[in-house]
Amino acid sequence: MTDSTQTLERLATSDYKYGFVTDIEQDTVPPGLDEAVIRLISAKKQEPDWLLEWRLVAFRHWLTQQEPQWAHVHYPKIDYQALSYYSAPKKKTDGPKSLDEIDPELRRTYEKLGIPLAEQAILAGVAVDAVFDSVSVATSYKGKLAELGIVFCSFSEAVREHPELVRQYLGSVVPYRDNYFATLNSAVFSDGSFVYIPPGVRCPMELSTYFRINASNTGQFERTLIIAAEGASVSYLEGCTAPQRDENQLHAAVVELIALDNATIKYSTVQNWYPGDAEGKGGIYNFVTKRGLCKGRDSKISWTQVETGSAITWKYPSCILRGENSVGEFYSVALTRDYQQADTGTKMIHIGKNTRSTIVSKGISAGHGQNAYRGLVKILPTAENARNHSQCDSLLMGDQCGAHTFPYIDVQNPSAQVEHEASTSKISEDQLFYCQQRGISMEDAVSLIVNGFCKEVFKELPMEFAVEAQKLIELKLEGSVG
Amino acid sequence: MRAYIVASRRESSIMLEIRNLHATVDGREILNGIDLIVRPGEVHAIMGPNGSGKSTLANVIAGREGYLVTEGAIHFDGKNLLDMAPETRACEGLFLAFQYPVEIPGVANLYFLKAAVNAVRKYRGEPPVDAMDFWDLVHERMELVKMDESMLKRSVNEGFSGGEKKRNEVFQMAVLQPRFAVLDETDSGLDIDALKVVADGVNALRSPERGFLVITHYQRLLDYIVPDHVHVLFNGRIVRSGGKELALELEEQGYALYNEEPGRARRAAA
């Protein structure tokens, strides 16, 4: 254990020695959704009129839309009037008083993942002041980034400090009328992240939501906007491998990425929200719209996702390849077990000349899990010499689970080259026995084989994240064989 | 002097003891009462025609699922082997060089081997292997089987030729250093050069503490790995045992000799 962790542990267990507790009234709007609620949200956030107007237009459009039914997922009807659409960031008094009050199962998970104590406390929403250390770390990073002209802040702050950027790009990739959930988000979004990398700047560190702790707990209708100007590059990490305490069942986030000429954006996600219990009760509905626009020449957007949580995952991180020679990539591992359902994939829309895209999707189903890959590769008439390679592999564990592949290919330019490979396999008895004969236990053998299966995707993750993702998959598969 | 005493005591001790072993696969009886004793330092060869039960014997010793022992016992260093899970047997020092090594896509050979070494160390209550020590050991052992370094980074057996797979089995054995190794038709599908390399690897591992059970269809392998004892397996039973000269005799006469009696018995029954 490092010194700093020990210090944090002392702080965390020292009975509020450095603590001061203030009772803060919960700032929550009653359930229900109408224009008044949207005006209230906007007013509370002291938003400019144009943004309120944008929200209202979205809301009016949402009223005319139908919830999509095409995904390969099943869930009871959501009563949107029963949800509360605004809750101010939860204050520290809100959570458990110490880690001892946390569900032991959750703590065991944290320990297995090797999450430092301080981080465990944050994730679990524990009211300990030891987290202040991390906040100061975050602040020092912020200073360094500011020197380079990089803007990395909460969405609300961006609306206040950089309204011209927000106004220019908000909804430019995912328009408010895009789809049911994106439209709902546009009307009621609470907060999220904003990143702007100025021309020619390579962001010197991975930007992570973790370093934005003070602005966390904005989960439900999160809105993220990342802009990389000409020649800029950035790697952004979303989420965390640990299960986060969360009481919202419906998550409808929107992420928009914009890459200008020669810009590169790498967006990595590890999603491990509450999947529901072993009988399929509860769990998060994760209905997310993520899309990147390669607006400039030679720009590149790369999505990497490791989806292990949520009861239902419905997300298709996509790339619109408008700039000439632009590149889109999608690397995905989706794991479903118990009664989890995932319908995920990507859309690669080729518009510009010589645009290229790569899709690597790895689905793992265990227990009663249902895993669907759904992907669209669209080559428009303008996309001379477009290239796509897609590879979709499914791994089945047990005989109650399912894997489904729905590839859609739409080619409107004869010079295009589109390749699609798909495979479905099971972990074979022979593989397991081979490992066991070398001394490796059945469970370790399973994670070894599964990690091998996911390797192509894991290697796209930033190093530390990759190690965590690997541990997470191991943990998720515990008890799923034998 | 003390070392000598230890060695001599070991020599007299029994490493593997198989008594009246009967086993079925899918309800069919394949092994019909096998008796076999292997002492430390000995190399035993099991020869027999196809379908005589050679591979079944190897799989039963290693504990593969689907092989049901209906009667008899196997003891390894006095411990009941049949009570142990396959991984426990491996950790106790039992190694099986597979006839058909499986591919594990995406898992680097080196990584796999390290996981195996550490699993055994954990079982023994030892800390994980030091990265540098492991690297040294791997390089030393690679030379033993003339293996190219690039094979360490490739996925376990994926895209390996038949010869490379067998070489990889012997390489794994050389790194894991088991006390008792079963080689299941390690010679099958090998050309003469590859056969020599594999045999050299095995011979380098022969020691007074280590026992081998070499299963083969052909005498050829035994020109290079010279056994102390040769057993003929037929219809799930050891029908004859002898020294290394028995292998040569079989080479000349074939297995037809052993086929006659049961053949007549079948006809009589019909």
- Stretch B245-265: mean pLDDT: 70
Mean of the per-residue pLDDT values of chain A: 81
Please choose, from the candidates A322, A315, A320, the residue with its C-alpha nearest in 3D space to the C-alpha of residue A342.
A315
DSSP A382-437: T-TT-EEEEEEEEEEESSS-EEEEEEEEEE--TT-EEEEEEEEEE--HHHHHHHHH
Cβ-nearest to A439 among B65, B87, B106: B87
Contact state of B87 with A433 under an 8 Å Cβ cutoff: no
Q: What is the percentage of chain B residues whose pLDDT exceeds 70? A: 91
Contact state of A437 with B101 under an 8 Å Cβ cutoff: no
User: Which residues of chain A neighbour B91 with C-beta distances below 8 Å?
Assistant: 439
Nearest CA in chain B to A429: B65
Residue B187 C-alpha, separation from nearest chain A C-alpha, in angstroms: 19
ipTM of the complex: 0.91
Per the model's pLDDT, the better-predicted residue between B218 and B119 turns out to be B119
DSSP state of A202: B
For residue B220, pLDDT over 50 is answered with yes
Query: What does the alpha-carbon distance between residue A389 and residue A23 come to, in Å, rounded to a whole number?
Result: 56
Per the model's pLDDT, the better-predicted residue between B7 and A450 turns out to be A450
No. of helices (H) and no. of strands (E), chain A:
12, 19
For residue A212, pLDDT over 70 is answered with no
Residue B107 C-alpha, separation from nearest chain A C-alpha, in angstroms: 5
Cβ-nearest to B87 among A429, A441, A451: A441
Could you read off the pLDDT of A225-264 as tens digits, one per residue?
Answer: 999 999 999 999 887 555 555 555 788 889 999 999 999 9
Tokens representing A323?
């700039």
Are A337 and A369 a contacting pair, CB within 8 Å?
A: yes
Mutation target for B interface from A391, A425, A436: give the one with most B CBs within 10 A: A436
Q: Which residue has the tokens 């009016």?
A: A60
Per the model's pLDDT, the better-predicted residue between A49 and A140 turns out to be A49
Contact state of B106 with A437 under an 8 Å Cβ cutoff: no
Mean of the per-residue pLDDT values of chain B: 88
pLDDT in the model for residue A96: 61
DSSP A131-172: HHHHHHHHHHHHHHHHHTT-EEEEHHHHHHH-HHHHHHHTTS
CB-based contact (8 Å) between B84 and chain A? no
For residue B259, pLDDT over 70 is answered with no
- Stretch B101-109: mean pLDDT: 92
- Stretch A32-60: mean pLDDT: 91
For residue B40, pLDDT over 50 is answered with yes
Task: Tell me if residue A371 falls in helix, strand or coil.
Answer: strand
Q: How many CB pairs under 8 A join A and B?
A: 75
User: Which residues of chain B neighbour A454 with C-beta distances below 8 Å?
Assistant: 106
- Stretch B55-83: mean pLDDT: 95
Query: What does the alpha-carbon distance between residue A366 and residue A187 come to, in Å, rounded to a whole number?
Result: 37
pLDDT in the model for residue A10: 40
For the range A31-38, what are the long-range contacts, defined as Cβ-Cβ under 8 Å and sequence gap of 24 or more? A31/A81, A31/A82, A31/A83, A31/A84, A32/A81, A32/A82, A32/A84, A32/A85, A33/A59, A33/A80, A33/A81, A33/A83, A33/A85, A33/A187, A33/A188, A35/A59, A37/A85, A37/A86, A37/A188, A38/A187, A38/A188
Neighbour count for residue A5 (Cβ, 10 Å): 13
Query: What does the alpha-carbon distance between residue A117 and residue A109 come to, in Å, rounded to a whole number?
Result: 12
Cβ-nearest to A449 among B90, B104, B176: B104
Query: What does the alpha-carbon distance between residue A235 and residue A202 come to, in Å, rounded to a whole number?
Result: 9
Residue B243 C-alpha, separation from nearest chain A C-alpha, in angstroms: 30
pLDDT in the model for residue A266: 96
Contact state of B106 with A438 under an 8 Å Cβ cutoff: no
CB-based contact (8 Å) between B126 and chain A? no
Nearest CA in chain B to A459: B106
Residue A430 C-alpha, separation from nearest chain B C-alpha, in angstroms: 7
Cβ-nearest to A444 among B62, B98, B115: B115
Neighbour count for residue A147 (Cβ, 10 Å): 7
For residue B24, pLDDT over 50 is answered with yes
pLDDT in the model for residue A243: 57
Quick one: which H or E segment has residue A186?
Answer: helix A180-188
pLDDT in the model for residue A9: 42
- Stretch A336-364: mean pLDDT: 92
* Minimum mean pLDDT range among A59-63, A203-207, B114-118: A203-207
For residue A426, pLDDT over 80 is answered with yes
User: Which residues of chain A neighbour B115 with C-beta distances below 8 Å?
Assistant: 438, 440, 444, 448
Residue A428 C-alpha, separation from nearest chain B C-alpha, in angstroms: 9
Contact state of B96 with A430 under an 8 Å Cβ cutoff: no
Q: How confident is the model at residue A109 (pLDDT cuts 50, 70, 90)?
A: low
Q: What is the percentage of chain B residues whose pLDDT exceeds 90? A: 70
Contact state of A452 with B155 under an 8 Å Cβ cutoff: yes
pLDDT in the model for residue A412: 96
Contact state of A433 with B123 under an 8 Å Cβ cutoff: no
Q: How confident is the model at residue A385 (pLDDT cuts 50, 70, 90)?
A: very high
Residue B221 C-alpha, separation from nearest chain A C-alpha, in angstroms: 24
Report if pTM > 0.80. Answer: no
Query: What does the alpha-carbon distance between residue B105 and residue A249 come to, in Å, rounded to a whole number?
Result: 37
pLDDT in the model for residue A115: 63
For residue B41, pLDDT over 50 is answered with yes
Per the model's pLDDT, the better-predicted residue between A134 and B236 turns out to be B236
Query: What does the alpha-carbon distance between residue B154 and residue B108 come to, in Å, rounded to a whole number?
Result: 5
pLDDT in the model for residue A130: 32
- Stretch A310-332: mean pLDDT: 93
CB-based contact (8 Å) between B177 and chain A? no
Nearest CA in chain B to A452: B106
Nearest CA in chain A to B120: A439
For residue A134, pLDDT over 70 is answered with no
CB-based contact (8 Å) between B105 and chain A? yes
* Minimum mean pLDDT range among A3-17, A67-81, A109-123, A177-191: A3-17
pLDDT in the model for residue B3: 42
pLDDT in the model for residue A85: 78
- Stretch B11-21: mean pLDDT: 86
Nearest CA in chain A to B177: A438
User: Which residues of chain A neighbour B176 with C-beta distances below 8 Å?
Assistant: 438-439
Query: What does the alpha-carbon distance between residue B20 and residue A131 come to, in Å, rounded to a whole number?
Result: 67
- Stretch B227-232: mean pLDDT: 95
State CA A85 to chain mean position distance. Answer: 20
- Stretch B143-150: mean pLDDT: 87
Three-state secondary structure along B195-207?
A: HHHHHHHHHHHCC
Nearest CA in chain A to B105: A452
User: Which residues of chain B neighbour A441 with C-beta distances below 8 Å?
Assistant: 87, 119
* Minimum mean pLDDT range among A326-335, B1-10, B64-73: B1-10
| Residues within 8 A of A (CB atoms), B 242-261 only | none
Q: How confident is the model at residue A124 (pLDDT cuts 50, 70, 90)?
A: low
For residue A346, pLDDT over 60 is answered with yes
- Stretch A333-337: mean pLDDT: 89
pLDDT in the model for residue A242: 53
Cβ-nearest to A429 among B65, B91, B115: B65
Most confident range (mean pLDDT) of A218-222, A306-310, A340-344, B136-140 is: B136-140
Please choose, from the candidates A320, A292, A289, A171, the residue with its C-alpha nearest in 3D space to the C-alpha of residue A234.
A292
For residue A348, pLDDT over 90 is answered with yes
- Stretch A181-204: mean pLDDT: 92
pLDDT in the model for residue A255: 95
CB-based contact (8 Å) between B102 and chain A? yes
Q: Which residue has the tokens 């020669």?
A: A262
Contact state of A437 with B86 under an 8 Å Cβ cutoff: yes
For residue A354, pLDDT over 90 is answered with yes
Q: List the alpha helices (DSSP H) in chain B.
A: 2-12, 54-62, 86-91, 109-123, 131-144, 150-153, 162-176, 192-205, 220-224, 245-253, 256-269
In sequence order, the β-bridge partners of residue A394 are: A363, A424
Are A277 and A306 a contacting pair, CB within 8 Å?
A: no
Mutation target for B interface from A438, A449, A454, A458: give the one with most B CBs within 10 A: A438
User: Which residues of chain B neighbour A437 with C-beta distances below 8 Å?
Assistant: 62-63, 86-87, 89-90, 95-96, 98
User: Which residues of chain A neighbour B104 with C-beta distances below 8 Å?
Assistant: 431, 434-435, 448-449, 452
pLDDT in the model for residue B206: 94
pLDDT in the model for residue A137: 46
User: Which residues of chain B neighbour A444 with C-beta distances below 8 Å?
Assistant: 115, 119
Residue A122 C-alpha, separation from nearest chain B C-alpha, in angstroms: 32
Residue B103 C-alpha, separation from nearest chain A C-alpha, in angstroms: 7
For residue B6, pLDDT over 70 is answered with no
For residue A403, pLDDT over 70 is answered with yes
For residue A203, pLDDT over 50 is answered with yes
Contact state of A452 with B104 under an 8 Å Cβ cutoff: yes
User: Which residues of chain A neighbour B112 with C-beta distances below 8 Å?
Assistant: 435, 438, 448
Q: What is the percentage of chain A residues whose pLDDT exceeds 70? A: 77
pLDDT in the model for residue A272: 80
Domains detected in chain B: 2-269 (3.40.50.300)
